[in-house]
Amino acid sequence: MTPHSPLSLHIPEPRFRPGEKPDFSDLRTSAPGEVRRPEVDAPAAEFRDLAESLVRVLDEKGGAVGPWDPKLEPERLRLGLRHMLLTRAYDERMMRSQRQGKTTFYMKSTGEEAVAVAQAMALDKGDMLFPTYRQQGLLIARDWPIFEMACQVYGNAVDRLKGRQLPVMYSAREAGFFTISGNLATQFIQAVGWAMASAYKGDTRIAAGWIGDGSTAEGDFHYALTFGAVYRAPVILNVVNNQWAISSFNGLAGGETATFASRAIGYGLPGLRVDGNDFLAVTAVTQWAAERARRNLGPTLIELVTYRAAAHSTSDDPSKYRPADEGSYWPLGDPIERLKDHLIAVGQWSPERHTQLAAEAEETVLAAVKEAEAVGIMGSGRRHSPATMFDDVYKVMPWHLRGQRQELGF
């Protein structure tokens, strides 16, 4: 054995800290239209390169190019734009509500709206969604009432979750939207289980799960890929790589040495990496994965490359750990602007109509939120009775909870 020098520990560090000038030129990317589109039934081993390239459809001039162009009707694109604008307006509004003390907490999805909106629209109504807290766009794209969402955030008397959950931890069975867990990653394997059940029953509905880049480090991520591969579950497994997990950059989840899409390779699954701010690319990739699932070909892992433009939550101050203007250097732009530009480029939209739609979205949100505020906000107005606190721990309340409810005076 030759003598070796002392070992040392590699500590991953994001490239830019507050005060530094960001430069994303080494982001692994591909030219719009460049990446090939395999058949959905092609063996995963034949297109591993897709886990490291970046599916993109929208080009710089607003054109839609290449084999992944989903060729959506303009009507549908405008609907997508509307959902994204609503999502953004809702986020803005609720964040302001938090600053005004009407709620204790809020989490925005700013800059990532295409992920949830395009994916919801690419799936069928009956497909079951297992989201994280940053896919409010799924609910909006499924026409879930913003009023209902705001009531949850306010924990008021109309809140379907009876004031039990932290703001934004929605649940909407009728919308096929699974109850959000505060414990990261747990939903990923649950989505696979649901999909297994659908296959078990000979159903045609598929499942989709979302997870953040940071949360991929949890065991549930590995469970999901393992069960998905072993039983070929009809599920779409989405990693939303928005670069950050609170203050931790994605290198701390292994993003320095490999893409998240490439995790699929070791399980024999297809992994696709897609420009998460490209509404068309996200749509196309999701449709492709859904078709695979529906044809009983099993799961697809999709890495959606995007950027968390806002703070992690209202409790966070990102300027403490990343350059305050880092987002403006993000090379994949803003999903709303890019879809708008595309629609204008193809003659299906105008700056005026856009301004009008954005204003309408804000009004719609404002009206719904006001209505919710009239019911109650955190700390004032109508809320559920504290007696309801003892319901739903079990299907039928056992004696000890009845006794405790009585202790509380009900």
Partner 1 sequence: MSQMNMAQALNSAMDVMLGRDPDVLVMGEDVGYFGGVFRCTDGLQRKYGARRVLDTPLTEGGIVGAALGMGVYGLRPVVEIQFADYAYPAFDQLASEAARLRYRSAGEFWAPLTVRTPYGGGIFGGQTHSQSPEALFTHVCGLKTVIPSNPYDAKGLLIASIEDDDPIIFLEPKRLYAGPFDGHHDRAAASWAGHPLSEVPQDHYSVPLGKAAVVREGGGVTVLAYGTMVHVALAAAEETGVDAEVIDLRTLVPVDLETIAASVAKTGRCVVVHEATRTGGYGAELAALVQEHCFYALEAPIARVTGWDTPYPYAFEWDYFPGPKRIGEALVRTMDARA
Ligand X SMILES: Cc1ncc(C[n+]2csc(CCOP(=O)(O)OP(=O)(O)O)c2C)c(N)n1
Is 4 or 71 the residue whose CB approaches a second copy more closely? 4
Q: For the chain, how far is it from start to end, CA to CA, in angstroms?
A: 76
Residues 148/315, Cβ–Cβ less than 8 Å: no
Does 251 contact a second copy by CB under 8 A?
yes
Helices (H) and strands (E) in the chain, counts: 10, 9
Q: Which of residues 12-31 bind a second copy (CB under 8 A)?
A: 12
Contact string (CB under 8 A) for partner 1, positions 268-307, x = contact: ----------------------------------------
Long-range contacts from 310-318, C-beta under 8 angstroms, 24+ separation = 310/91, 310/95, 310/108, 310/110, 310/111, 311/108, 312/107, 312/244, 312/246, 312/247, 313/105, 313/106, 313/107, 314/95, 314/98, 314/99, 314/105, 314/106, 314/107, 315/105, 316/246, 316/247, 318/244, 318/247
Is 167 or 212 the residue whose CB approaches Mg ion more closely? 212
Residue 239 CB-density burial (10 A; 0-12 exposed, 13-18 middle, 19+ buried): buried
Does 73 contact a second copy by CB under 8 A?
no
What is the C-alpha to C-alpha distance for residues 51 and 332, in angstroms, rounded to an integer?
18
Is 312 or 342 the residue whose CB approaches partner 1 more closely? 312
Does 186 contact partner 1 by CB under 8 A?
yes
Does 264 contact ligand X by CB under 6 A?
no
Query: Residues near 59 by Cβ (< 8 Å), separated by ≥ 6?
Result: 32, 33, 65
How many residues in the shown chain lie near a second copy by CB under 8 A? 55
Does 377 contact partner 1 by CB under 8 A?
no
Q: Choosing among ligand X, Mg ion, partner 1, none, which partner's interface includes residue 33 (Cβ < 5 to 8 Å by kind)?
A: none
CB of 112 to ligand X, least distance (A): 8
Binding site for Mg ion (CB under 5 A): 212-214, 242, 245
Residue 248 CB-density burial (10 A; 0-12 exposed, 13-18 middle, 19+ buried): middle
What is the C-alpha to C-alpha distance for residues 263 and 44, in angstroms, rounded to an integer?
12
Does 289 contact a second copy by CB under 8 A?
no
What is the C-alpha to C-alpha distance for residues 254 and 12, in angstroms, rounded to an integer?
9
Residues 113/88, Cβ–Cβ less than 8 Å: yes
Binding segment toward ligand X, per CB under 6 A, in 25-33, 159-167, 176-184, 344-352: 176-184
Among 102, 134, 322, 383, binds ligand X (CB under 6 A): 134
Q: Choosing among partner 1, Mg ion, a second copy, none, which partner's interface includes residue 164 (Cβ < 5 to 8 Å by kind)?
A: partner 1
Among 3, 6, 19, 182, binds ligand X (CB under 6 A): 182
Does 171 contact partner 1 by CB under 8 A?
yes
Q: Choosing among partner 1, Mg ion, ligand X, none, which partner's interface includes residue 288 (Cβ < 5 to 8 Å by kind)?
A: none
Does 333 contact partner 1 by CB under 8 A?
no
Q: Which two tokens stand for residue 22?
A: 């960001």
What is the binding site for a second copy (CB under 8 A)?
1, 4-12, 44, 124, 196, 198-200, 202-204, 206, 217-223, 225-226, 229-234, 251-254, 256-258, 262-269, 271, 294-296, 298
